[in-house]
Structure 1
Amino acid sequence: MIVKEYGKSNKDIIMLLHGGGLSWWNYEEVSEILKSNYHVILPILDGHSGSDRDFTSIESNANEIIEYIDNNYNGNVKLIGGLSLGAQILLDILSKRDNICEYTIIESA
């Protein structure tokens, strides 16, 4: 999984999951604002612009994100937000690990 990051020096981590047909650039403008206070992570979902692999399933993307958070952030981040397809992936993540983040934003799941 390829990720874009902003504000790497900040402690509080926000992950934003883009919708179908979009990519990390959907959150580029807001990430520029948030980076002064947060470490913003923008995963590129499989099968979308800039991705290194084809889309297979919501579940495989969810598992990949859980593994990424486990390996890089001790299994927990401050907030995960998801739009459309990203929200569906987020719901799958939460069904497996309800303690993976303190807050969520789910839009158009």
Structure 2
Amino acid sequence: MNVKSADDVDFAKRGGVIPVVVQDKKTKDVLTLVYANREALAKTIETGNAWFFSTSRNKLWMKGEESGNVQPVSEIRVDCDSDALLYIVDSNKPMCHTGERTCFHNMVEKA
């Protein structure tokens, strides 16, 4: 399925907000898991930069608007149920608010 607009994604299933996995184009590292609403996806398609919906702040935001670590999106993929997205980004800037490259930098220790 080719996503041409935010209308091609089923936001209704999850109350208007769906998960977005962000993956680095070159390394294939998973950088973060965030959320998007219809407007965030539309702005990502329109601008080519990653936009999300903050569930904690209840507002739209562009990655890098405060840190300068803008994440250019080279591909957007939708899962088979049309209720989750994958943004493939072409950036070497940190994704995590802590300054780490990926939000998945903490390891779970085995017992």
Q: TM-score range by the shorter chain?
A: under 0.3
Larger proportion of helix: 1
Larger proportion of strand: 2
